[in-house]
A and B are shown apart, each in its own frame.
Chain A
C-alpha cells in the first residue's frame, strides 16, 4: 500500500511537471504580438499561420550578400531537429509543440527574434511577422518520419 502511495505521488508529481510543459506561453505571446500588430496597423487581421509559413521558408538576400531563410537551419519542418548552416551543429526543434522550452520566456523570445531577424532580414521583425511566425510554428506538431 505504501509503495502504491509513493508511486501515486510520483506520478502526480510527474503529471504536474508535464502539465507545466505546454504551449500556453507561446499562445500568449502570439496573442500579444497580434495585439501590438493591430495597434500599429488596424487592418492587420490577426495572426496568420499561412503568412508565417511563407515568411519561414522565404530566402532573403542581405546587403552583405548573405542569403538564408529560417528554414535553412530549422529545416522546412520546424518540428524536426535543425542543423546550423555555418557550424553544422544540431539545433533542437523550434516548434513549441514539440519542444516546450521554445517561446516560453518573453525576454528570451524578444532577444532571439532581434538577433535572428537581424541575421536573416537585416532588421528586427515587425510584431505582425512575429505573431504570424508563432502562429505557424504552433501548427507544426509532427516530426517527419526518420528514414
Chain B
C-alpha cells in the first residue's frame, strides 16, 4: 500500500476543532443557561473557517483552493461516475466533495455571521426576526451538509478501501497503484 501525505497539520487541526465547536454549539443551542457557551463556540467556529479560507489561499498542495476548484458540473459528473463505478481516484478532494466543502464554508459563515448579529441584537442590522430566521435555516442547512459530507466520506472510504477518517488524523491517504488506475481508466473508456 502506497501512502501519500495529503492533509497538513493546519487542515487536520482545523477540521477536528471545527467538529468540536460545531458539536458544542449544537448541544448548547436550546438553553438560555448555555447561551454564552453557544456564542463562544460559534465565534470559535467562525474564526476557524475564516483562517481556513486564508490558508486555502496561501497554502500549497492539497490545502489550497486551487487543488479543488469549485465546479458544480464536474461535481455532478463525478457523482455519476461514482454510481457507474468508473470514477477517477482523486488524492485530495474529489469535485463532489469539494462542492460540499465550499457549501459548508458558505453556510457555516452565514450561520456564524447571523448568530453574531442575533446575539448583538440591534447592532448593524436591526431586523431580529429576519436574522433569527437566517440563523435558524442556515444552521440546519449546515447540519444537512455535514451529513452529506460524512456520508460522502464513508462512501469514498468503502469504494477506495481507505480509511478517510483516519486520514484526517494522520494526514496520510492511500494512493492507488498504477495498474489499478489504468484498469479504472479502461473501464471509463469502454
Interface string of B122-151 (1 = CB under 8 A from A): 000000010000000000000000000000
Task: Please tell me if A123 contacts chain B, counting CB pairs below 8 Å.
Answer: no
Chain A neighbourhood of B30, CB < 8 A = 115, 118
Taking a contact as CB atoms closer than 8 A, the residue among B33, B121, B129 that contacts A86 in the complex is: B33
Other-chain residue from A86, A90, A101 in contact with B32 (beta carbon distance below 8 A): A86
Residues on A with C-beta less than 8 A from B74 are none
CA distance A101 to B119 in the complex (A): 18
Does B20 count as interface, using CB distance less than 8 angstroms?
Answer: no
- A89 contacts which of B31, B33, B119, B129 (Cβ < 8 Å)? B119
B39, CB-defined interface residue at 8 Å: yes
Question: In the complex, how many residues of chain B place their beta carbon closer than 8 angstroms to a beta carbon of chain A?
Answer: 11
Kindly list chain B residues whose C-beta atoms are within 8 Å of the C-beta of A73: 32
Q: Is B4 in the interface zone, CB < 8 Å from A?
A: no
Residues of A close to B36: CB separation below 8 A: 86-87
List chain A residues, Cβ under 8 A from B33. Answer: 66, 86, 119
Give chain A residues whose Cβ lies under 8 Å from the Cβ of B120: 89
Asked if A84 contacts B35 (CB within 8 A), the reply is yes
Binary contact track B27-49/A, C-beta < 8 Å → 1, others 0: 00011110110010000000000
A116 within 8 A of B: yes
B29 (CB) vs chain A CBs: closest residue: A115
Q: How far is the CA of A87 from the CA of B33 in the complex (A)?
A: 9
Residues from chain B with Cβ under 8 Å of A119 in the complex: 31-33
Question: Would you call B32 and A89 a contact (CB within 8 A)?
Answer: no
Q: Give, as a whole number of angstroms, the nearest-CB distance from B131 to chain A.
A: 14
**In the bound complex, what is the Cα–Cα distance between A92 and B129 (angstroms)?**
13
Which residue of B is nearest A64, CB measured? B33
Q: Cβ of A101: which chain B residues have Cβ within 8 Å of it?
A: 129
The residue of chain A having its C-beta at the shortest distance from the C-beta of B37 within the complex is A86
* CB-contacts of A52-103 with B (<8 A): 66, 73, 84, 86-87, 89-90, 92, 101
Would you give the 0/1 interface string for A119-138, flagging 1 where the beta carbon is closer than 8 Å to chain B? 10000000000000000000
Contact with B31, one of A87, A92, A118 (Cβ below 8 angstroms): A118
> Chain A nearest CB: distance from B183 CB in Å?
55
A-B contact pairs, 27 of them (CB 8 A): A66-B33, A73-B32, A84-B32, A84-B35, A86-B32, A86-B33, A86-B35, A86-B36, A87-B35, A87-B36, A87-B39, A87-B119, A89-B119, A89-B120, A89-B121, A90-B121, A92-B121, A101-B129, A115-B30, A115-B31, A115-B32, A116-B32, A118-B30, A118-B31, A119-B31, A119-B32, A119-B33
Residue ranges of B at the interface with A (Cβ–Cβ < 8 Å)? 30-33, 35-36, 39, 119-121, 129
Given contact pairs A115-B31, A118-B30, enumerate 4 new A-B contacts (beta carbons under 8 Å): A84-B35, A86-B32, A89-B121, A90-B121
